[in-house]
Amino acid sequence: MFENVEPEIVGPPKGEFDYKDVETFTRYLDANGRLYSRKRTGLDAQGQRQLKKSVKFARFLALIPYGA
Amino acid sequence: MTEIKHTYQAMFLLDNQEVRKGYAEARDWVRSTLEKHGAEVSVLRLWAEQELAYPIGGRHRATYLLGWISGTGQSVNEAKREMYLVGPVFRVLFLKAESIPEEELAYGIQDLKEGELVIPEDLPEEEEEEVYAEDLEPNVAEGEEAAAEGSSEEVTEPETPTEPTEEAQEAAAKSDGAEAAEEEPGEDVKPEEESSNV
């Protein structure tokens, strides 16, 4: 009845996350601007926290929208 | 209490209307405000001029200034507080950094050549008012429906009453008198048959 579909893993970036590098971390956001989970991003805990902070800084500076 | 100096990366969002008056003036205002509160400005350069992801205070575009400064936490906070009160800056982000990258140090306090920063004119906002039939008053809604139905028919304006001339007034008075005379005997007439029977 329910298919257990494995999500596509994005994978870690080449360097560290930077809030100014919008193109890099928009790969980790869905169409509504929400962050993918660790299961889908394939990042470790530290990387996921860096990503979360970068996205929030970018949203504050109106580089990316808060929602769809 | 000892105040420790830190290195900060700062991003300033400048109002395009202020930057149009002069980029150098806006940049110098930011620099002087930071230095007034005790921070040292190592780098202050133009990062981008672009459209905002969402409007901030009616602004749809902004000029981004990237700076690298060193100072105490108190100096940074005081500068930020002043920037939000006055001046061309409408949003600031300070982030603590370990050191200033060499690539950034090469910029220093950046001067722009003429034509290097082109700011497009602000487009007028398009106001989209969504009017729902539920929000309208019932009489208004009915009136609009009736107007929509009868829109195909020709609409004639009602004739305005004209003032009667003197001759017409006299003629009307005479005719009224004649009608009154005709009506009076009619009212007083009693059935003769009833009286004869008695």
State pLDDT tens for residues B53-73.
999 999 999 999 999 999 999
Tell me, yes or no, if B91 comes closer than 8 A to chain A by beta carbon: yes
Of A20, A57, A62, which has the smallest distance from its Cβ to B56's Cβ? Answer: A62
pLDDT (mean) for B126-143: 69
Q: Which of A61, A64, A66 to mutate to test the interface with B (most CBs of B within 10 A)?
A: A61
Neighboring chain A residues of B46 at a CB cutoff of 8 Å = none
| φ and ψ of B66, to 5 deg | -105, 130
Q: Does residue A48 lie within any of the structural domains?
A: yes
What pLDDT is attached to residue B118? 78
Least confident piece of the model among A12-16, A41-45, B5-9, B191-195: B191-195
**Residues counted in chain A:** 68
Q: How confident is the model at residue B136 (pLDDT cuts 50, 70, 90)?
A: confident
Neighbouring C-beta atoms of residue B76, cutoff 10 Å: 22
Q: Does residue A5 lie within any of the structural domains?
A: no
Q: Does residue A3 lie within any of the structural domains?
A: no
Q: Does residue A4 lie within any of the structural domains?
A: no
Among A4, A19, A17, which Cα is nearest to A50's? A17
Q: Does CATH place domain B6-105 in 3.30.70.60?
A: yes
ipTM of the complex: 0.85
| φ and ψ of B137, to 5 deg | -70, 150
Q: How confident is the model at residue A55 (pLDDT cuts 50, 70, 90)?
A: very high
What pLDDT is attached to residue B10? 97
When divided into structural domains, chain A yields a total of: 1
Could you tell me if B116 and B48 are in contact, meaning their C-beta atoms sit under 8 angstroms apart?
no
Q: If you average pLDDT over every residue of chain A, what do you get?
A: 87
What pLDDT is attached to residue A25? 85
Q: Does residue A2 lie within any of the structural domains?
A: no
Of B64, B66, B93, which has the smallest distance from its Cβ to A57's Cβ? Answer: B93
The token pair that represents B172 in the structure block: 């009307």
Among A33, A25, A30, A32, which Cα is nearest to A7's? A30
Burial class (CB in 10 A: 0-12, 13-18, 19+), B19: buried
Q: What is the domain-level CATH number for residue A57?
A: 4.10.640.10
> What is the spatial distance between Cα B58 and Cα A62, in angstroms, rounded to a whole number?
13
Q: What percent of chain B has pLDDT over 70?
A: 67
Q: Say whether pLDDT at B1 is over 80.
A: no
Neighboring chain B residues of A65 at a CB cutoff of 8 Å = 53-54
Which sequence spans correspond to the domains of chain B?
Answer: 6-105
> What is the spatial distance between Cα A47 and Cα A17, in angstroms, rounded to a whole number?
8
Q: Domain range for residue A30?
A: 10-68
Question: Which residues neighbour B56 within 8 Å (Cβ) at sequence distance 6 or greater?
Answer: A62, B13, B62, B90, B91
Q: Does residue A28 lie within any of the structural domains?
A: yes
Asked whether the beta carbons of residue B93 and residue A61 sit closer than 8 angstroms, the reply is: yes
Q: Does residue A58 lie within any of the structural domains?
A: yes
Q: Does residue A30 lie within any of the structural domains?
A: yes
Q: What percent of chain B has pLDDT over 90?
A: 50
> What is the spatial distance between Cα B11 and Cα B44, in angstroms, rounded to a whole number?
9
pLDDT (mean) for B101-115: 84
Helix axes B23-36, B73-85, angle to 10 degrees: 140
